Amino acid sequence: MLGLENAPGFVVMVDFQFPMSDVVAVIPYVLPMLFIGLTLLLYQRHLDPKERVRNLMVLVGVICLIASFLLLLYAGFGSVWWGPADLTFGSWWAFVGGLQLVTDVIFGSVAGSIGYVVLVTVLYVILARSVISPPNPDFVALRNELKEAREQAKTLSEEINKLEGEKKTLTEYLNEREDALKKMEEQLASLKEQVAQVEQEKADLEAMLKEAGEAGPVDREYEQELLETISKKDQTITRLQSEIEE
């Protein structure tokens, strides 16, 4: 193929010296791998670490980055690894031969060059559209909502536990009050029984005193004793009624 450098009057103004020419030759393959690797590694941050797709993205992204850097370093330093030009690194000549073959196949014609650029662009657009746009559904937003919901649930759980503790305290207090009220009702019933009993005894004494008066003259001492007993019963009734009112 006749190049422009062979055209009459053509002067090369910018030229790449060796081994930079090999570095330039691998740029069309390094840049797509860098773009793909960086895109995948940036996107995987928004996925669940336990998902297989996320782990696969990390693996492919790391492989693309490592391969691109190794390809760039090998092209730049493989020919002069040991210093002298005749001591190349490993299979550098085979690498250069393969690189030249691939370059000739892809960039040996205008159609091949345009086809390669279009293919890389289409593939990257498809990849970017799949990973840069939010997933459907948007798992990032869902995870944020889930995190907020968990925090709210935790807060509500703490409030519920607090309310349950207060409820337990109030229940214990009410139970104690009910027990005290029950005891007071029992005491009140007992006092009422005592009042009724004392009133009955008082009524019996008054009846005895009345019968004794109707039967004839009554011994003053006996009468006085009955009156004192009735007075004590009145005092007892008054005391019991005061306790009932309290």
pLDDT value of residue 106: 80
CA distances for 200 relative to 19, 56, 230, angstroms: 131, 100, 11
Q: Which of 30, 33, 64, 58 is nearest to 43 (CA)?
A: 58
- Alpha-carbon distance of 81 to 91, in angstroms, equals 12
Task: For residue 2, name the pLDDT band (cuts at 50, 70, 90).
Answer: very low
Q: Are 181 and 213 in contact (CB under 8 A)?
A: no
* pLDDT tens digits, one per residue of 27-85: 888 888 888 888 888 877 777 777 788 888 889 889 988 988 888 877 777 666 555 55
Q: Are 25 and 78 in contact (CB under 8 A)?
A: no
pLDDT of residue 190 exceeding 50, the answer is: yes
- Burial label for 70, CB within 10 Å (0-12, 13-18, 19+), is exposed
Give 162 or 194, the one with higher predicted confidence.
162
Q: What is the mean pLDDT of residues 152-157?
A: 89
CA distances for 108 relative to 2, 33, 101, 111, 115, angstroms: 12, 22, 10, 9, 12
Task: For residue 9, name the pLDDT band (cuts at 50, 70, 90).
Answer: low
Q: Are 29 and 75 in contact (CB under 8 A)?
A: no
pLDDT value of residue 110: 82
Pinpoint the alpha helices (H) of the chain: 20-43, 52-77, 92-107, 110-131, 139-215, 220-245
- Burial label for 68, CB within 10 Å (0-12, 13-18, 19+), is buried
Task: For residue 193, name the pLDDT band (cuts at 50, 70, 90).
Answer: confident
Across 120-134, 163-177, 201-215, which has the greatest mean pLDDT? Answer: 163-177
Give 10 or 171, the one with higher predicted confidence.
171
Q: Which of 235, 215, 217 is nearest to 227 (CA)?
A: 235
Q: What is the mean pLDDT of residues 157-186?
A: 86
- Burial label for 40, CB within 10 Å (0-12, 13-18, 19+), is buried
pLDDT value of residue 146: 84
pLDDT value of residue 173: 87
pLDDT averaged over the chain? 74
Q: Are 102 and 85 in contact (CB under 8 A)?
A: no
Q: Are 37 and 59 in contact (CB under 8 A)?
A: no
| Nearest-5° Cα angle at 33, 30 to 38 | 120
pLDDT value of residue 197: 77
Q: To which residue do tokens 């498809």 refer?
A: 126
Q: Where exactly are the structural domains of the chain?
A: 4-133, 144-245
pTM of the predicted model over 0.85: no
* pLDDT tens digits, one per residue of 199-245: 777 677 667 766 665 555 555 565 566 666 666 666 766 766 666 66
pLDDT value of residue 37: 87
pLDDT value of residue 68: 86
pLDDT value of residue 3: 44
